[in-house]
Amino acid sequence: MQPKLNLKDHQLVISKLDENETVKTFDCGDSDLNDFILYESPLYRKEKLSVTYVLKNADDINNEHIAAFFSLSNDRISLTDFDNKTKYNRFSRRFNNRKRLKSYPAAKIGRLGVDILYKGQGVGGRALDFVKRYFSTDNKTGCRFITVDAYAAVIPFYLHNGFVPLNDEDIDEPTRLLFFDLNDLDED
Amino acid sequence: MARPIKETPILYGEDARRFEARMKEKRRISPEERARINESYELFMDMLRRGEELKRQRNAAKIKS
């Protein structure tokens, strides 16, 4: 029988992984996500590329059985009024400036995984909710969007949670870039 | 080795125009969705505070010993 994860249980904690911390076991059914959390997340932390948050029991000091994780990093969405990349590159080389490029700050969900023991209990959706408000009301700098490079199989999950495809260029690729506008959370 | 995360691309032409139009057009969030987001945030923030405090205490204990 699948163990029930009660997020209101005070025995559960979330912790940011330090560069000297490792996760001992985790299986969300996806080898790529497993590889990241088991072997690569400390390197990303050490190089200050992303911060990984793990959900686990308070007494699991050595991260033996984490239930879920997500990693976050800084991002931006940039746009230009040039019609295509060639025209933009030609202009940039010639005038050596980026004046005609607008950028909006964003936070990227690099990876999000829930252990197969706890799948189907809404933990992933709750994590998305948290990230949205974490960056809209609690942010140290400025952040307008949440971005994610989502696997094709989980795109419906992100769309259901208010994310929108950035463009149609990656429509047939194994992953697709999606964004969520944090202004959507503002009260009318 | 985990695959690299795709860089967020620069948007050009029609994609850029569509994106800016979307920015101006706010999606309406239902009261239920807003309540769920707020509840999730409070739950996760509580867990994060507890987790970080525990870690701080353990690190302090390590230094002492």
Assigned domain for A150 exists = yes
Question: What CATH number did the domain enclosing A154 receive?
Answer: 3.40.630.30
Contact B40 A129 (CB under 8 A): yes
Sign of the alpha-carbon torsion through B42, A75, A53, B51 = negative
* Number of structural domains chain A divides into: 1
Structural domain includes residue B36: yes
A70: nearest Cα among A103, A99, A107: A107
Q: Report yes or no on B45 lying in a domain.
A: yes
Give the range of the structural domain holding residue A135, as residue numbers without chain letter.
Answer: 12-80+87-182
| pLDDT band at B5; cut points 50, 70, 90 | confident
Residues in chain B within 8 Å Cβ distance of A32: 2-3
Q: Is B37 on the interface with A (CB under 8 A)?
A: yes
Could you report the per-residue pLDDT of A122-172, keeping only the tens digit for each? 999 999 999 999 999 878 889 999 999 999 999 999 999 999 999 998 999
Would A3 be classed as within a structural domain? no
Q: What is the pLDDT of residue B2?
A: 76
Does a structural domain hold residue B42? Answer: yes
Instruction: Show the domain range for B45.
Output: 30-65
CB B9 within 8 A of CB A177: yes
Chain A hits for B40, CB-CB cut-off 8 Å, are 125-127, 129-130, 133
B14 within domain boundaries = no
Q: Would you say residue A61 lies in a domain?
A: yes
- Which residue in A9, A70, A4, A111 sits closest to B6, CA to CA? A111
Residue A92 within any structural domain of the chain: yes
Q: Of B25 and B65, which is predicted with more confidence?
A: B25
Q: Which is nearest to A51 in space by CA: A21, A72, A23?
A: A72
A1 assigned to some structural domain: no
Q: What is the pLDDT of residues A57-98, one digit of tens each?
A: 999 999 999 999 999 999 999 998 777 776 666 666 665 555
Structure-token pair, residue A154: 């989980």
Helix and strand numbers, DSSP H then E, in chain A: 5, 7
Would residue A5 count as lying in a domain?
Answer: no
Domain assignment of residue B41, yes or no: yes
Give B58's contacts in chain A (Cβ within 8 Å): 61
In a domain, B15, yes or no: no
Residues of A in contact with B1 (CB under 8 A): 35, 39-40
How high is the ipTM of this complex? 0.92
Q: Chain A contact for B35, CB < 8 A?
A: no
Interchain contact, A55 vs B47, CB within 8 Å: yes
A6 in any annotated domain = no
For the stretch A38-63, pLDDT in tens is 999 999 999 999 999 999 999 999 99
Q: Report pLDDT for B21.
A: 93
The string of pLDDT tens digits covering residues B10-61 is 999 999 999 999 999 988 899 999 999 999 999 999 999 999 999 999 889 8
Considering the domain boundaries, does residue A2 fall inside one? no
What is the CA A188 to chain-centroid distance, rounded? 27
Does any CB of chain A come closer than 8 Å to the CB of residue B11?
Answer: yes
